[in-house]
A and B are shown apart, each in its own frame.
Chain A
């Protein structure tokens, strides 16, 4: 099976997984060491190294995101369905990080803003969050006004990056 996976570093990797008699291997890992996998109970995945040692990972999938617990760390990856390219990067600082309410809009359309400048303040989970400009830009559009509720991922402000 072939998968496109966006790793924790944001890199998209094409990975091929083979299975034989319930033992799974991934080609890409062979350049480091010989590792094989086997399903465990419930959320467990058993990981065998070439010296015969067995470790466990816990895995769960929510939407297209895999949550992996291994060696005391929880790490997320995304499975990218082939053909559904161009997924918007929701990490952009200009979308609402949480569902919440707009408390204050600090800029107006047409304003010149510099990188790091506060654009608006929203309130979510009883805390205030400051949305700042990721680069020098001119404010193109403001999608919410004070008192509006916004959902997670809603674009809040559109910026036109100014060229230096």
Chain B
């Protein structure tokens, strides 16, 4: 609370006391370094502030003006152009923690969050790792090992074949052989995978080799590990995941399910909790399986056990994500918890908060859920071209507000969406008493969300929220391919096309572009500093693509 130095009156002192003081001498850390960027970095900074912890951001040069850097109590530049030199640079991040006096590292999701060697290095450096043990990350991080471990723990897994070969040619031969056992359609999955990268659905033997090559290459780029295994593709199934929390005092609980079936290119687009396909009985079964999975690896902190729920009601273990999930807010809303704060408290050695444990009905392992929450991921992408990523300036960015509406984002008006990082702009989350009212609340929120200057999927999301099959709760994982088999397009009609053309003519005539230029002057600050020269209207000129 550095403001105390300046405003040292009673009011601020009271506020300081009110904040449940984390910085008692018996707490192992008072400052947290966030080894991430964007939206999740902002989310973690907020949790730190509410717990009275100070936050340290690390950032690459092209993030110098990003919101999370501004929000953090302090920020340290990670020099270099490649991700390997910045957000994936374990050594530099640990050095930054030491330099800033941070006592703990929160990895967020993506980047180094599921790297056991990083978790180990953090602990070895005398810092607190906000996450599960390296052993738990290793067991669950490798999808093949996880399958084997889960089978041993009695958790059902998807029929499939593990492929141990690492040599390119040998692995293709093994995949070929496995495909004959598993049958078509099948799914190729990167063993080190996640986030839909290194994953390919194969409908027919003819497409196998090309798919295997693509999956392997994407896996090597994204994870540095090209191993790919084969699973049966369960069509018509739903993606249901269970949130778990575990502390080192013997408590492992679940916080109900999230349904994340609505996906495109194996990346989630919409998540909701509870699922319309899960009743109290199934929730308890899946919850128990998730708790068993977590206990099997002595899990600590927040984690997610993903399942596929078949049409017949059988469920199969998919994988366990040993980190906070993108879609964690919907669970927070229906369970009245703050998962990121729980992560920090648990990492400091505390048990799961009493306020949570007290709300578990006796004889159950999970928290009671209240109301219905939906999250949509607002991506910079063009749904009309098969969801190709888009880039551009956020010249106007007006977020919806209102009761039960939450926006988690790492950008603000005037920022620029670049090809340097993930194209997710924001997560829009609503909470309402039941599913129907949550759908209505989300429709209104999407209607009011104004993003101009960069193509987004908001128009598509509005159509999705109005689709009668979605409203009816019929949401298999192939929902988008099924209902937009020919792809999605904007249907305006002649009148609509003329209307929007006329409006732009009027806007030109009124001179809105001269009067109003967004929060930053377009001439010299379009990208908040990331455009150095050249045509100010062309955001692509000086951007270099950087990959690990």
Contacts and interface: CB of A to CB of B under 8 A. Distances in A.
Contact of B506 (A17, A100, A121): A17
Contact of A62 (B446, B453, B515, B545): B453
Contact of B391 (A15, A63, A73, A98): A98
A71 B222 CA distance: 39
A61 B513 contact: yes
Interface string B476-516: 00000000000000101001111111111111111111011
Interface string A5-31: 111110101010101000010101100
B456 interface: yes
Given A60-B513, A62-B393, A74-B459, A29 B422 contact: no
Contacts of B391: 98, 152
B32 interface: no
A137 interface: no
A59 B504 contact: yes
Indicate the size class of the contact surface on chain A.
35 or more
B502 A60 contact: no
A60 B453 contact: yes
Contact of B515 (A8, A39, A57, A71): A39
A79 interface: yes
Interface stretch (A107-115, A126-134, A156-164): A126-134
B512 A129 contact: no
A148 to B, nearest CB: 12
Nearest to A25: B506
Contacts of B115: none
Interface stretch (B11-19, B213-221, B225-233, B242-250): B213-221
Given A98-B389, A101-B545, A124 B506 contact: no
Contact of A127 (B265, B502, B537): B265
B410 interface: no
A13 B516 CA distance: 25
Nearest to B423: A125
Given A43-B452, A45-B507, A152-B540, A7 B222 contact: no
Given A17-B509, A59-B507, A125-B422, A72 B447 contact: yes
A43 B516 contact: yes
Contacts of A68: 452, 500, 503-504, 507
A75 B518 contact: no
Contacts of B506: 17, 24, 26, 37, 45
10 contacts: A8-B501, A32-B495, A60-B513, A68-B503, A75-B492, A75-B496, A98-B388, A124-B545, A127-B265, A128-B218
Given A1-B508, A43-B512, 8 more contacts: A32-B495, A61-B507, A68-B507, A74-B455, A74-B456, A125-B422, A128-B217, A152-B391
Interface of B: 197, 214, 217-218, 221-222, 265, 385, 388-389, 391-393, 395-396, 398, 419, 422-423, 446-448, 450-453, 455-456, 458-459, 462, 490, 492, 495-513, 515-516, 518, 537-538, 540, 543, 545, 547
